[in-house]
């Protein structure tokens, strides 16, 4: 503890010295705007009011909206497609009457007519390789946007809506008054992208050796935008490079996938006895009592056998998540599955990993241990991890987070060997993405506008977690 105190004291002393030097420099330049990196942000931050006090705590009139979801999701593995139908119940806790609702359609960043490539374009190069030119201009673009089949009210009547790229405005027949709630339904589908092609935040990786896909799925459903006292509706477009702003809510989600898939997701699994074999249930009970060594729920041997068959049957996994701001899931017949328990604030949390055999031996040895260590460090320095599990999913070139689940890179060579750079790079990304459960999944900042808030806090905590992971980490 003394070491932690001294490091913190040194950090803040150094910051104070830098601030003093900057301030001294600025006072020697009368008439100039204060450009100090350590200046107080009077101009940038809003004046304190009844919603947000000067101390940074919520004021007496502070509110948050709530969006609850009931979803039925079907993953078509043969065609790499998702079909879904959802009912959203939106609670207007604001003092304002709302004349319309804004819904995020983030998958539209991958529609054929997406404007994201124009916004993020790098200009025309002086010279092109033939393959690159053909890929950019002569191939049919991937059509991955949402296909909205209907938007209906609670009585089944169609609601008028307008889609503007990645945002959809739902026009309601009468204003949603303060304190009231409204329910409406959306039916939709989209083609799942190959996330290894252009670093999509979710999608699948295809494994040609056995013909299987591993899916990491997020931003897969139309999601309510944020409405707050700061700016009303936060309806900024999603360009692919930014992230997300979302209200909290409760989720009841049924996910139908091939019967031979292994799946985990945000929320409590409600029908474990229906989707687990007897052997898996026995292993799960053992994992709940194992605090040092991960227990295999699905082994590599079982996965290698499953990879050879493609079940025509389906299985529905049922989840419930309370008071979360987003939802994600991962599924594949390629997933090895291990778990172990970790004590956080007097309760048990399950540290979980899902990974294909291509991730071994690295993932089997280290992933779940990195999850458990991260939960301990972040909880000891901030607040106790509130969820019942944290899942690390292996995905090529990925690093992305959602409540209770995240995707992480780090793959050994085909012969199973790996360098220290790959090993510690994997540990770092697992720490970072699991850490994002704290910031912004629980401390719910607006990532679409202010990504530096959660990234700054998480990166600082990541450093502490790396040092506490083990002696060998600091040697690299």
As a whole number, mean pLDDT of residues 58-67 equals 96
Gap between the Cα atoms of 387 and 408, Å rounded: 19
Residue in 264, 237, 286 with CA at minimum distance from that of residue 111: 237
The pLDDT of residue 17 is above 70: no
Q: Contact at 8 Å (CB) between 219 and 107?
A: yes
- CB–CB of 50/61 below 8 Å? yes
For residue 3, report the phi and psi dihedrals to the nearest 5 degrees.
Answer: -60, -45
Q: Which among 313, 311, 370 has a CA at the least distance from the CA of 338? A: 370
Does residue 14 register a pLDDT over 80? no
Is residue 36 over pLDDT 90?
A: no
Tokens of 3: 């070491």
For 70-109, how does the pLDDT look when each residue is reduced to its tens digit (9 = 90+)? 999 999 999 999 999 999 999 999 999 999 999 999 999 9
Where is pLDDT greater, at 476 or 141? 141
pLDDT of residue 134: 67
Task: Read off the tokens for 164.
Answer: 């503007």
Residue 115: which pLDDT band, with cuts at 50, 70 and 90? low
Which DSSP state fits 101? E
Residues 335, 355 contacting (CB under 8 angstroms):
yes
Mean pLDDT for the stretch of residues 202-225? 97
Predicted confidence at residue 32, as pLDDT, reads: 65
Structural element, H or E, at residue 284: helix 278-287
Is 438 in contact with 378 (CB distance < 8 Å)?
A: yes
CB 298 within 8 A of CB 281: no
Q: Which of 26-30, 106-110, 152-156 has the highest mean predicted lDDT (pLDDT)? A: 152-156
Distance between CA atoms of residues 299 and 311, nearest Å: 19
Q: What is the pLDDT of residue 10?
A: 40
Close Cβ partners of 97 (under 8 Å, ≥ 6 residues apart): 175, 176, 177, 178
| Structure tokens that stand for 429 in this block | 């990304």
Q: What is the pLDDT of residue 457?
A: 94
Per-residue pLDDT, 230: 87
**Can you tell me whether residue 368 is helix, strand or coil?**
helix
Interior CA angle at 328 toward 323 and 332, to 5°? 145
Using CB atoms within 10 A of its CB, is residue 454 exposed (0-12), middle (13-18) or buried (19+)? Answer: buried
pLDDT bin (cut points 50, 70, 90) of residue 5 is very low
| Percent of the chain at pLDDT exceeding 70 | 87
pLDDT digits (tens, 9 = 90+) for 165-207: 999 999 999 999 999 999 999 999 999 999 998 788 999 999 9
Residue 463 has pLDDT above 70, yes or no: yes
Confidence check: pLDDT of 65 > 90: yes
Record the pTM: 0.88
Model confidence pLDDT, tens digit, residues 403-416: 999 999 999 999 99
Over residues 110-120, mean pLDDT:
68
Comparing C-alpha atoms, which of 331, 247, 289 is closest to residue 75?
331
Distance CA 410, CA 418 (A): 9
The string of DSSP letters for 215-242 reads: EEEES-S-EEPEEETTTEEE-----SSS
Confidence of residue 27 (pLDDT cuts 50, 70, 90): very low
For tokens 């309370």, name the residue: 322
pLDDT for 26 equals 47
| CA 7 from centre of chain | 31
Question: With bands split at pLDDT 50, 70 and 90, how would you rate the model's confidence at 240?
Answer: confident
Is 60 exceeded by the pLDDT of residue 419? yes
Contact (Cβ atoms closer than 8 angstroms) between residue 367 and residue 353? yes
Tokens at residue 45, please?
């931050």
- Exposure string (b/e) for 40-52, b if CB count within 10 Å is 16 or more? eeeeeeeeeeebb
pLDDT band at 15 (very low <50, low <70, confident <90, very high): very low
Where does the pLDDT of residue 54 fall: very low under 50, low under 70, confident under 90, or very high at 90 and above?
confident
- Distance CA(299)–CA(282), nearest Å, equals 13
Q: How far apart are CA 438 and CA 154, in angstroms?
A: 35
Per-residue confidence (pLDDT) for residue 391, from 0 to 100? 98
Architecture of domain 66-122+135-469: Sandwich (2.60)
Q: Which of 46-55, 68-77, 94-103, 381-390 bottoms out in mean pLDDT, i.e. has the lowest?
A: 46-55
DSSP code for 248 = B
**pLDDT of 7 above 70:** no
- Computed over every residue of the chain, the mean pLDDT equals 90
The predicted-structure confidence for 254-291, as pLDDT tens digits, reads as follows 999 999 999 999 999 999 999 999 999 999 999 999 99
189: nearest Cα among 316, 76, 283, 326:
76
- Residue 366: C-alpha distances to residues 335, 336, 360 (Å): 16, 14, 10
Q: What percent of the chain has pLDDT over 90?
A: 75
**For range 327-344, the mean pLDDT:** 98
In this prediction, residue 164 carries a pLDDT of: 95
* Per-residue pLDDT, 431: 98
What is the per-residue pLDDT for 11?
A: 43
Distance (Å, rounded) from C-alpha 317 to C-alpha 347?
25
Q: Evaluate if residue 388 carries a pLDDT over 70.
A: yes
How many other CB atoms are found less than 10 A from the CB of residue 369? 20
> In this structure, are strands 389-394 and 405-408 parallel, antiparallel, or unpaired?
parallel
Mean pLDDT of 65-69: 98
Question: Residues 41-62: what's their mean pLDDT?
Answer: 84
pLDDT value for 21? 52
Give the Cα-Cα-Cα angle 47, 249, 402 (nearest 5 degrees). 90
How does 184-198 read in b/e, with b if 16+ C-beta sit within 10 Å?
A: bbbbbebbbbebeee
pLDDT for 12: 42
Q: Which residues pair with residue 168 across a beta bridge?
A: 103, 163
Q: State how far the alpha carbon of 295 is from the alpha carbons of 182, 287, 365, in Å.
A: 44, 5, 11
Where exactly are the structural domains of the chain? Answer: 1-45, 66-122+135-469
The 81-91 sheet, strands edge to edge: 147-153, 181-191, 81-91, 66-76, 249-258, 314-324, 268-269
């Amino acid at each position: 503890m003394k070491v932690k105190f001294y490091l913190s004291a040194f950090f803040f002393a150094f910051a104070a010295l830098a601030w003093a030097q900057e301030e001294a420099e600025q006072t020697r330049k009368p008439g100039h705007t204060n450009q100090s990196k350590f200046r107080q942000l009077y101009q940038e931050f809003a004046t304190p009011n009844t919603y947000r006090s000067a101390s940074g705590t919520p004021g007496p009139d502070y509110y948050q909206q709530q969006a609850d979801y009931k979803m039925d999701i079907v993953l078509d593995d043969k065609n790499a497609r998702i079909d879904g139908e959802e009912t959203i119940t939106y609670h207007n806790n604001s003092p304002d009457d709302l004349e319309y609702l804004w819904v995020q359609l983030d998958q539209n960043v991958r529609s054929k007519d997406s404007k994201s490539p124009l916004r993020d374009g790098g200009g025309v190069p002086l010279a092109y390789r033939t393959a690159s030119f053909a890929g950019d201009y002569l191939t049919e673009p991937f059509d991955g946007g949402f296909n909205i089949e209907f938007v209906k009210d609670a009585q089944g009547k169609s609601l008028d809506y307008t889609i503007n790229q990645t945002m959809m405005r739902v026009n309601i027949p009468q204003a949603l008054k303060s304190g009231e709630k409204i329910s409406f339904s959306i039916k939709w589908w989209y083609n799942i992208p190959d996330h290894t092609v252009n670093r999509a935040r979710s999608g699948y990786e295809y494994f040609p050796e056995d013909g299987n896909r591993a899916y990491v799925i997020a931003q897969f459903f139309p999601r309510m935008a944020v409405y707050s006292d700061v700016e009303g509706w936060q309806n900024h477009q999603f360009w692919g490079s930014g992230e997300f702003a979302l209200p909290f809510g409760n989720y009841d989600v049924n996910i139908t996938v091939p019967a031979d898939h292994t799946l985990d997701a945000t929320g409590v699994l409600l029908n474990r006895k229906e989707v687990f074999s007897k052997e898996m249930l026995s292993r799960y009970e053992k994992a709940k009592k194992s605090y040092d060594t991960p227990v295999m729920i699905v082994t590599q041997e079982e996965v290698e056998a499953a990879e050879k068959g493609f079940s025509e049957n389906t299985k529905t996994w049922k989840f419930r998540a309370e008071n979360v701001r987003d939802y994600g899931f991962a599924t594949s017949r390629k997933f090895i599955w291990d778990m172990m328990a970790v004590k956080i604030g007097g309760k048990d949390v399950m540290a979980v990993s899902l990974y294909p055999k291509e991730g071994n031996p690295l993932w089997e040895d280290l992933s779940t241990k990195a999850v458990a260590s991260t939960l301990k460090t972040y909880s000891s320095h901030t607040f106790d991890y509130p969820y019942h599990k944290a899942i690390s999913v292996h995905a090529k070139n990925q690093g992305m987070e959602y409540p209770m689940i995240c995707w992480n890179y780090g793959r050994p060579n085909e012969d199973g060997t790996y360098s220290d750079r790959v090993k510690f790079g994997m540990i770092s990304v697992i720490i970072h993405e699991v850490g994002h459960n704290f910031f912004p999944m629980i401390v719910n900042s607006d990532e679409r506008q202010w990504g530096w808030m959660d990234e700054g806090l998480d990166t600082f905590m990541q450093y502490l977690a790396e040092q506490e992971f083990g002696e060998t980490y600091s040697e690299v």
